[in-house]
Structure 1
């Protein structure tokens, strides 16, 4: 499965939007980068579906443009007028060439999902490799209205419980992708979240 971060060259704030090529070409999150449709077109002629980790603006601002350009299905947990299929915790979906399980993982966002296969996790914002606050294992911010550190901690634990031993590829909503011992990265993120200290003390 080939995975491309199509927002990697963004000059404005956006999430990482990942295009997974394979049996089923899927864009994981649409991002907020103007021109994301053209960035996708550099790799493929068609997109079968967009799978959302959650619906914060930096993940969905360009969603309508992508759906219109590719007539793609929309798979997500939260309500959306263009949703084709609601994903629930434990549902499976094909991304690229692999079968993924949707893991409901609120805390950073009430509608958050992570997608886990035998080799790969698209973790959205619930847990990331690096984000400026921590390197080598960090977690989504939980300091604004509607967010919860306790639910975030529960979600990271749930991901660990459902993470197959062979997962070696981590594609998070922000920061760098990671290839290696993903479980160790997630465990470090959990440890840091469990300290219950402000993620950004200066704010």
Structure 2
């Protein structure tokens, strides 16, 4: 399974959008980088699906452009005018070469889901390896309208319950990808979130 961050060279704020090539070529989030369609086309002529972790603007601003270019079905937890199939907690979706469990992980966003297989985690914004607040184990912000630190903590606990010990690849919505003991990164993020301290104290 080959994973490429197709927004890695973005000069404006965007999430990490991941092109996953394998038996089923899937884009995880579309991002907000103009020109992302051209980057995807450097790697593949078609997409079997686009799956969303959630529908914040930095994850979906280029969604229509991607769907128009590749005529791919859209999978999302929440309603969307172009959704072809919903993503329900506990079901499976095939990404690349692996079956991923859909884990409902609200807190940062009401419609947030993560995808976990035997080896890999696409965590969206619920947990990230590094960001402007923390390195090695951070979590999505919860200080804006509609967000909840308590729900986020519960979601990280759920994610740990549903994640096996063999998960060694982590692709988050922001920050760098991580290869190693993913459980330890997620547990570190949980510990920080449980302190209930502001993620960005100056805000």
TM range (shorter): over 0.9
Give the aligned partner of residue 139 of structure 1.
139
Gaps in structure 1 of 5+ consecutive residues: none
Task: Provide the secondary structure at the position in 1 that maps to 2:167.
Answer: coil
TM-score, normalised relative to structure 1 = 1.00
Alignment deviations for residues 83-112 of structure 1 (CA, whole Å, 9 cap, x no partner)? 010001001010000000000000000000
Give the aligned partner of residue 120 of structure 2.
120
Give the aligned partner of residue 96 of structure 2.
96
Please give the alpha-carbon distance, in whole angstroms, between the structure 2 residues aligned to 1:42 and 1:166. Answer: 32
Please give the alpha-carbon distance, in whole angstroms, between the structure 2 residues aligned to 1:85 and 1:116. Answer: 19
Gaps in structure 2 of 5+ consecutive residues: none
- CA-based RMSD of the aligned residues comes to 0.4
Runs of 4+ in structure 1 off by over 2 angstroms are none
Pairing 1:142-153 to 2, within 5 Å after superposition: 142-153=142-153
- Equivalenced residues, count: 203
Please give the alpha-carbon distance, in whole angstroms, between the structure 2 residues aligned to 1:69 and 1:8. Answer: 20
Q: CA deviation at 1:132?
A: 1.2
Pairing 1:44-123 to 2, within 5 Å after superposition: 44-123=44-123
TM-score, normalised relative to structure 2 = 1.00
Please give the alpha-carbon distance, in whole angstroms, between the structure 1 residues aligned to 2:179 and 2:11. Answer: 25
Q: CA deviation at 1:19?
A: 0.3
Please give the alpha-carbon distance, in whole angstroms, between the structure 1 residues aligned to 2:12 and 2:149. Answer: 27
